[in-house]
A = this chain, B = another copy of it.
Amino acid sequence: MISEINLGTPCDMHVHLREGQMCDLVTPTVRDGGISVAYVMPNLQPPVTTIDRVVDYKKRIQELAPNTTFLMSFYLSKDLTPELIHEAAREKAIRGVKCYPAGVTTNSAAGVDPNDFTAFYPVFKAMEEENLVLNIHGERPSVNDGETGDDIHVLNAEESFLPALRRLHTDFPRLKIILEHCTTEAAIKAVEDINKDVEDPRDIRVAATITAHHLYLTIDDWAGNPINFCKPVAKLPRDKRALIGAAVSGKPYFFFGSDSAPHPLESKSKHKGVCAGVFSQSLAIPYIAQIFEQQDALDKLKDFVSTFPLQFYELPQHELRSQDEVIVYRKPQVIPETITDGKGLQIAPFKAGEKVNWSVKWVAK
């Protein structure tokens, strides 16, 4: 029985750190959860679309977590120009650009129309030239079309987006694209299909991140449990099985991005207008280790959380803020009902009150 694993420098390639009091509370939990490298989402209010803001934001979170390596991103909107992309790349201010379809999740109102990306093609061309990553929230907004029956709703929003993903890859074959927090068997199959002829991992251009919570949840788990409500919503049992299969597959285009998305407890405990998001940052690696253990695939864990994301993002070890390594080891712990800063802010972590079998510790390399 495996009792511990050295995971090297694990990455969480999709984190929400927010601002203000929430940022102060959650940013240090990146390291608590066993994560060395975090890709930081730009959906603040207003969205992060300038070099100054990204530099300021990085400075703030770096102060809160000096040993964590933060990769920063812009929010795709009409404020971005090819010139700005080139400048931001030259200054190494960002590693990628996040694309939100308008209206599908928290702070996405400034996002784009997923039915027509062509307005952004000059930006994508600049990103392709600079080897920046396009991080896509791959959902189409809901439509109730009684005429044609061509409805979009939270269950098929991701699958309906996949043709747009393929079109983007066709139009920008060298652009690195990530389908973020994918949730469906259809998405897994699409990303596998796009990569079917790729032999060298360095040639991967379309990857997908998978969260911790989508490896646990199905629709039954968020029906009546707002703590588990997130966008994209967790889907059906066969989708969950496909995600688990992809995570443990050893395929280098599937890797970890938690989409940890904290909200104050009172924003999750409402009868109307619950905020979408699951907070999984503080126990990111233990949640994942538990699934890999259940699948008898602990030997694949380091690939999923360290090797593959570092490879896709081409992040050399010497650029990390710390060379400390993470050991995940068998030590059960009860997940607290809430995490608080002692100043009135409370977050309910994923699986609050339940048990995980694993803990993490840091060791010098």
A-side interface residues toward B, CB under 8 Å?
142, 144-146, 149, 151, 153-155, 218-220, 222-227, 229, 233, 236-238, 241, 265, 268-276, 348, 352
Q: Is the CB of A273 within 8 A of B225?
A: yes
Residues in B with CB closer than 8 Å to A237 are 144-146, 151, 153
Q: Is the CB of B268 within 8 A of A227?
A: no
Q: Is the CB of B155 within 8 A of A236?
A: yes
- Given A151-B237, A237-B153 in contact, is the A274-B146 Cβ separation under 8 Å? no
* Most chain B beta-carbon neighbours within 10 Å: one of A223, A225, A233, A352: A223
Copies in the complex: 2
Residues in B with CB closer than 8 Å to A220 are 142, 153-154
Say which residue of B238, B269, B276 sits within 8 Å of A271 (CB atoms).
B269
Q: Is the CB of B144 within 8 A of A276?
A: no
A222 to B155, CA, bound (A): 13
Q: Is the CB of B224 within 8 A of A226?
A: yes
- Besides A149-B238, A224-B226, 15 more A-B contacts (Cβ < 8 Å) are A151-B238, A153-B220, A153-B237, A154-B223, A224-B229, A224-B275, A225-B273, A225-B274, A226-B271, A226-B272, A226-B274, A227-B272, A268-B271, A269-B270, A272-B352
Residues in B with CB closer than 8 Å to A144 are 218, 237
Residues in B with CB closer than 8 Å to A229 are 223-224
